[in-house]
Structure formats: C-alpha cells, structure tokens
Amino acid sequence: MARNVLVAVDDSNQSTEALEFACTEYPEATITALYILDPGDFYAVSGIEGTAMANYDEVQGHHEERAENILEAAREQAAEHGVELETEHVLGSVSRSIVDFAAEHDIDHIVVGSHGRTGASRILLGSVAETVARRSPVPVTIVR
C-alpha cells in the first residue's frame, strides 16, 4: 500500500477525479497535491513575449494566486473525505516537475488525470499522463 501519494492538480475535471480517486483509494496515505506553474503560460497571457516579460511580476502574481485557489479547492475536496492534504506548487515543465517532485520527496505512487485525447490531438498536444507514466520512478495511476 502506498504511503506517500502525489496527485497532480489543475482546474480540470480530470484533476478533480484524480484527487477523488487518491482520497478514496489511499485514505491512510500522506497525499500531496502538486500544482505546476508552467513558464510557457506566462507568455500565453499576451501572446507577445516582450509584453509578458515586461509584466512578469504581475503575470507571475496572477499565476501564483490561481495556484493557491486551485490548491485551496483541493484541500476542501480532500477534507470531505477526512484527508488532510499537503499542497505544493512549483515552476517548471508539467511532466518533468511531477516526476522530479516524486523522486525528490519520497513519493511512492503518483495519480494523474487524463484528458483522454486520441488521434491527432494526442500526437500534436502530447500527453502529460503518458509522459509521467513512462518516466516515473514509481507506479502511476491514470484516472479518466
């Protein structure tokens, strides 16, 4: 049985389902919700690299606030199951950050949600869940 479970969270329904799964399947484990601030999102705010950099502090503040809101919602969801959730947020590539966090924090199981993309959209957009499953040093559960 897993002792330290990592759940990647964002504001998607798939993320909510992944956390729900972790709370019901691993109620005795220490569960950590991890939100990743992807630096690429900073540029997406304006679509113009220079503009995003000119307002970097403002953009970063917006993303940090969003992370805190998402993590607070995750804490509330876990509390409904009697689980006291640990939360963290990091800056980096989503897939790599999940795998690195697991390796650096004694995580023995990862739970991620899947958007269930198929065909061309999966090839073009890639799959965070698939990349994590391939690179993870610990077992991964992908929740759809």
pTM: 0.86
Residues 6 or more apart in contact with residue 57 via CB below 8 angstroms = none
Extents of the domains making up the chain: 4-143
Q: From CA 123, how far away is CA 25, in angstroms rounded?
A: 31
pLDDT in tens, 68-91: 999 999 999 999 999 999 999 999
Q: What is the pLDDT of residue 20?
A: 98
Residues 6 or more apart in contact with residue 4 via CB below 8 angstroms = 29, 30, 32, 105, 106, 107, 108, 109
pLDDT in tens, 21-66: 999 999 999 999 999 998 776 665 555 555 545 567 777 788 889 9
pLDDT in tens, 99-134: 999 999 999 999 999 875 555 544 444 589 999 999
Q: What is the pLDDT of residue 93?
A: 93
Domain 4-143 in CATH 3.90.650.10: no
Q: What is the pLDDT of residue 62?
A: 84
Q: What is the pLDDT of residue 42?
A: 63
User: Quick one: which H or E segment has residue 8?
Assistant: strand 4-8
